[in-house]
Homo-oligomer: A and B are copies of this chain.
Amino acid sequence: MQVRTDAIPADRATRWERLTALPLTFLSVMFLVVYAVPILRPDLPDSWRAACEATTVLIWLLFWVDFVTRLILAGERRRFLRDHLFDLAVLVLPMLRPLRALRLVTVVLNLSRRAESWARGRLAVYVGATTMLLVLVSALAVLDAERSATDSNITSFDDAMWWATVTITTVGYGDHFPVTATGRFVALGLMIGGIGLIGFVTGSLATWIVDRVSEKGRAAAATVDDIAALRAEIAALRRQLDPQASTTGDDPDRRDHADQPAG
């Protein structure tokens, strides 16, 4: 919290993000652990269960502290809120317990937002990581929601992971499916993630094919650099004609010079 107050706001926001990046990632992993353990071990003693619950609430409060601090440090607060609607929703909605785990996805999304370079390979790694996290968190959430429901068919973690995989790839065998309202909302998130995933893979492959095919078949398009080289050449030509006009030949509107006879 030792943020110098004499710096300009934008600087302090950046410094805060840099300072909290590692602790927040650690807190997110912790959150996943204390979220997962009571779901995976239904026979957990009540004392441990209470400890997990308490840790969840504590981490959630720390996420709130981080969000409010970033809001205060932000230059344009209205814009900050608009840009972080998903973060806010995840913080406000956790009354609905399973949705809280989606905070992890936010971490990955934040990581990818901070990345300077967006090469295709790096993008693929982030999409892959987000997909795996989404499958894991959804499996946990759906298992939590469905286990004790009547007529439920998702009662083990194996089945939950299998169901999440079958859903995100939009295969949908129908051997396992949620029957509770909460489970169905989790499924909705997974399906939207699945469509996004397919869209990303398709889009990446499409651009890759375009590059592969166009590299060979077509001549390279003229670039701004080619045009700049041409302009330099013409400028040199003008200087040759009128040595007095030895400044940059970039301004074609200087008619006074142009009106002088060339020789």
Bound Cα distance A247, B258 (Å):
12
Q: For A253, what are the chain B residues with a Cβ–Cβ distance below 8 Å?
A: 232, 236
Q: Is the CB of A252 within 8 A of B225?
A: no
Q: Among B118, B158, B218, B243, which residue has its beta carbon within 8 angstroms of that of A259?
A: B243
- In A206-240, the 8 Å CB interface with B consists of 206-210, 212-213, 216-227, 229-240
- In A180-221, the 8 Å CB interface with B consists of 181, 184, 187-188, 191-192, 194-210, 212-213, 216-221
- Does chain B have a CB within 8 A of A262? yes
Q: Is the CB of A171 within 8 A of B175?
A: no
Q: Is the CB of A227 within 8 A of B224?
A: no
A86 CB to nearest chain B CB (Å): 14
- Does chain B have a CB within 8 A of A28? no
Q: For A200, what are the chain B residues with a Cβ–Cβ distance below 8 Å?
A: 205, 209
Q: Which residue of B lies closest to A188 (CB)?
A: B165
1/0 contact string of A141-178 vs chain B (CB within 8 Å): 00000000000000000100010011101111111010
Q: Residues of A with Cβ closer than 8 Å to B?
A: 117-120, 123, 158, 162, 165-167, 169-175, 177, 181, 184, 187-188, 191-192, 194-210, 212-213, 216-227, 229-243, 246, 249, 252-255, 257-263
A107 CB to nearest chain B CB (Å): 21
Q: How many copies does the complex hold?
A: 4
Bound Cα distance A257, B240 (Å):
7
Q: Is the CB of B236 within 8 A of A238?
A: yes
Q: Is the CB of A230 within 8 A of B232?
A: no
Q: Is the CB of A209 within 8 A of B198?
A: no
Q: Is the CB of A207 within 8 A of B213?
A: yes
Q: Is the CB of A210 within 8 A of B207?
A: yes
- Given the known inter-chain contacts A206-B203, A226-B224, A230-B231, please indicate yes or no for A177 contacting B173, CB distance below 8 A: yes
A164 CB to nearest chain B CB (Å): 11
Q: Which residue of B lies closest to A117 (CB)?
A: B216
Q: Is the CB of A198 within 8 A of B202?
A: yes
7 shortest A-B CB distances, which residue pairs?
A203-B206, A263-B263, A171-B172, A174-B174, A173-B174, A232-B252, A199-B202
Bound Cα distance A192, B181 (Å):
26
A155 CB to nearest chain B CB (Å): 14
Q: Which residue of B lies closest to A232 (CB)?
A: B252
A245 CB to nearest chain B CB (Å): 8
Q: Which residue of B lies closest to A163 (CB)?
A: B173
Bound Cα distance A224, B219 (Å):
7
Q: Among B167, B169, B233, which residue has its beta carbon within 8 angstroms of that of A252?
A: B233
